[in-house]
Amino acid sequence: MRSARLTKDQISGDKDQKKVCILHRNENAKTRVKENFENSEIKKRFRTDDHFLNAFTVSSNAFFDHNLNLEPSETEIPKLQDDLRNINKNINRELTRDYVNEAKGVLSLIQSVQLDTDKKTIETKVKVHMEFEKNLMEALNELNNRFDSIYNDLEKCLSKGVEESVQLCVASTNELIAPNIDKRGFHKILQALCKNGGCYWSKNWDVVLDLNRQLAKHLDEYIHEYFDQIFPVNGKTGKSVQEQIDKFSIFQSDSVYPSSDILHYIQNFIKTEETILKASLNMDVVAMKKDIYSSIKKTIENEMASGYKKAAALRGTGSMNERQILLINTVDERKQDMFNKAKIEMLKKFNNLKLYIKDALESGLKRAMELLLSQTSKFKWMDVSTEINELERLSEQLSD
């Protein structure tokens, strides 16, 4: 019996020790992830709060293995499940709000059409359409001016970054490709870097060398603060692209037409279309932001491509030294043109973003106006004003 008890105690002790080891390992893993994030480019480039990053060390095996003696909460899967539920709830709320707004817009169009019963009403619709078109042109001009102001400030930041990059790029290159370390293994790393277009990473990712990013860092340093203002993760900066889109509207408080039922439903329809367009554009901006931000590094990589190819082809005694000299000379010869092209490319992409937004708003709202004007009522439809009011209340609740 004593032997059996000892065996059970030993088993229990082993379980407890394994549990402690798992929890200790998981805590260390979370700490490393958070420390790496704090020192990462993401943290440097974007505004974040204390709740921006939640790290969970989860294992489905540990969750279902009762022999490990872990409480469900200690596996962190319940915490992860709660986070995923909240994310899903928010997504569903946004989708529901979008569906409600679209339905309200369609019903408003139907209601405006069936109120279109006499010549005077038709004339009112034509005049309102003309007012909307005039307001649209004015709103687009205002939007264009705000974007031009942002563009000019971005151009100033980039120009300073180009000057700094030209002055320091050779030293930055030398720092990366000729480090003060044991060079017996570095020649393979450098050759791999050249073969891979300027970037090397070890199998376990504990060593990452990126000459393109190294060359881009001075430009990045000059624009990252302003870039954060143009494309913030959250909050208002007064300069953000999202804010410029949100400010855009063809509705003015001083409409020359008195309020009426048909005008109410016309405005409802156009406002809904405007809201849908702006929400869609804000999602497009997120994708285009990534392309704009990465354009500097991509331009540098393209400009350095032939140098990398030549350096990778070098072989034999002294090839490492030749490779280093070739890369440094390539940077030195192309620096002015290379960084100017990077600047021009980023500005071009930002200008394309502006044109994309303007075109989407103009074409989308003109299409909605034309649809409104082209519809006429030839027969009596069901009155949907009650349904519209109900959707308006629901939309307000979903926005709270």
Query: pLDDT digit string (tens) for 198-224?
Result: 999 887 766 789 999 999 999 999 999
pLDDT digits (tens, 9 = 90+) for 313-365: 999 888 999 999 999 999 999 999 999 999 999 999 999 999 999 999 999 99
What residue ranges do the domains of the chain occupy?
119-376
pTM of whole model > 0.85? no
At a CB cut-off of 8 Å and minimum separation 6, what does 281 contact?
Answer: 245, 357, 360, 361
**Predicted pLDDT at 47:** 46
- pLDDT above 70 as % of the chain: 59
Render pLDDT for 66-103 as a digit per residue (tens, 0 to 9).
666 666 666 666 676 676 676 666 655 565 656 566 66
